[in-house]
Amino acid sequence: MTLKRGQQLLDKNGSVAEFDNYYKCLVTVDMPHHQVHEGEAYFVDDYQTGKTAVCYAMTVPAVGQYHFVWGFQASDAFSMNLFEGATLSASGAALTKYNSNRNSANTSALAVSTAPAISSPGTIIKRAIINSGVGTADFGGSTREEQEINLKNSTTYLLSASGSSAGVHLRMYWYETGT
């Protein structure tokens, strides 16, 4: 589409699209960034000390799309596994979920907990071994597109890490659509 001088490009709500004056191009943001502005992006940040193994559970609601990425950090080598279709006998301790847009009152229905009681872990769908001294490990790939998983509705996932480290730092990020 070519606009003539004086014409405006409007979104569905009638707002005028923004153009960069220097490059003469439409200003856009990617979907995760957009979802932060919409108040539909969330995060969990957890650090566990004195442990060589940790496990987290995420239970996905029946409605919506949950676009999920995460990262681990530890001082020593460790391995990580992501299981799909887990069965829990107890969900464990709920972790605090934060909205990435600190001005939004929206909350997430995704349940996130630590130390669940596991009846069956489900099927391993991703695994990784992180060498000592690597620091942060973005489990799954080096870009968001390689890391992101669209979680299956009405499904419980387990994210586990084990190794010789006395502490593990976990960061989970997700945005929601259709909720």
DSSP letter string, 72-115: EEESS-EEEEEEES-EEEE--EEPPPEESSTT-------EEEES
Residue 16 lies in a domain: no
pLDDT score, position 123? 98
Distance set, CA 151 to CA 23, 46, 57, 68 (Å): 38, 20, 13, 7
pLDDT score, position 141? 46
Residue 6 lies in a domain: no
pTM of the model: 0.81
pLDDT score, position 166? 67
Residue 31 lies in a domain: no
pLDDT score, position 61? 97
CB 59 within 8 A of CB 106: no
pLDDT score, position 161? 87
Residue 121 lies in a domain: yes
pLDDT score, position 134? 52
pLDDT score, position 165? 66
Domain encompassing residue 49: 39-177
Residue 5 lies in a domain: no
Give the count of domains, the chain. 1
Say how far apart CA 136 and CA 139 lie, in whole Å: 9
Diameter of the chain measured on Cα atoms:
65
Residue type, 79: S
Residue 161 lies in a domain: yes
Helix runs in 25-143, H state only: 31-38
Residue 165 lies in a domain: yes
pLDDT in 10s for each residue of the chain, 179 residues? 676 776 777 777 888 877 777 777 777 778 888 888 889 999 999 988 877 888 999 999 999 999 999 887 777 778 889 999 999 999 999 999 999 999 999 999 999 999 999 999 999 999 887 776 555 554 544 555 567 899 999 999 999 988 876 677 888 999 999 88
Cα Rg of the chain (Å, integer): 20
CATH number at residue 143: 2.60.120
Say how far apart CA 170 and CA 71 lie, in whole Å: 6
Residue closest to 153 by CA, chosen among 91, 43, 84, 64? 64
Residue 23 lies in a domain: no
